[in-house]
């Protein structure tokens, strides 16, 4: 199963259960048919900006801060409604937005933590992403377009 599906399931699990350890999260994922290691779950927790919060039955549990969730939702809505074109050119990815939205869209994309992005420059309506290789640029383009 894909990383995107796994991460969505992680968010569902931490909303439904008071999970306080990575090992417990691994077990819940394995029960659902995901083959994961603790290291994979650790990376997912970091990428999803999951934090420890106070629990009701346990001292702590994994969760997402409410303000962060609202802010991220707004950023990703802006991302989805502002991007007009994504083009890969060698080791570069050029993203066009509605005028005045490039900086906000770049901030939303940074929240995605796409590891192939080694640099990014945003103007008024254009964002330039730099990758090490053509293959990495194609992965960036796919990561962005799959979320539109």
pLDDT tens by residue, the chain, 148 residues: 788 889 889 989 998 999 999 999 999 999 999 999 999 999 988 888 788 888 888 888 888 765 455 556 666 777 788 999 999 999 999 999 999 889 888 988 887 788 899 999 999 999 999 999 999 999 999 999 888 7
Burial state string for 101-136 with b = 16 or more CB within 10 A and e = fewer than 16: bbebbbebbebeebebbeebebeebebbbbbeeeeb
């Amino acid at each position: 199963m894909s990383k995107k599906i796994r991460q969505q399931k992680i968010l569902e699990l931490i909303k439904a259960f008071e999970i306080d350890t990575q090992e417990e999260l691994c077990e819940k994922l394995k029960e659902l048919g995901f083959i994961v290691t603790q290291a994979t779950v650790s990376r997912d927790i970091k990428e999803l900006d999951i934090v420890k919060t106070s629990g009701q039955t346990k001292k702590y549990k994994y969760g997402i801060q409410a303000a962060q969730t609202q802010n991220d939702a707004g950023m990703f809505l802006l991302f989805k409604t502002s991007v007009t074109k994504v083009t890969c050119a060698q080791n570069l990815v050029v993203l066009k937005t509605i005028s005045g939205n490039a900086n906000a869209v770049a901030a939303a994309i940074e929240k995605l933590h796409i590891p192939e992005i080694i640099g990014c420059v945003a103007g008024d309506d254009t964002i330039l992403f730099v990758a090490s290789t053509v293959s990495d640029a194609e992965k960036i383009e796919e990561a962005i377009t799959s979320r539109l």
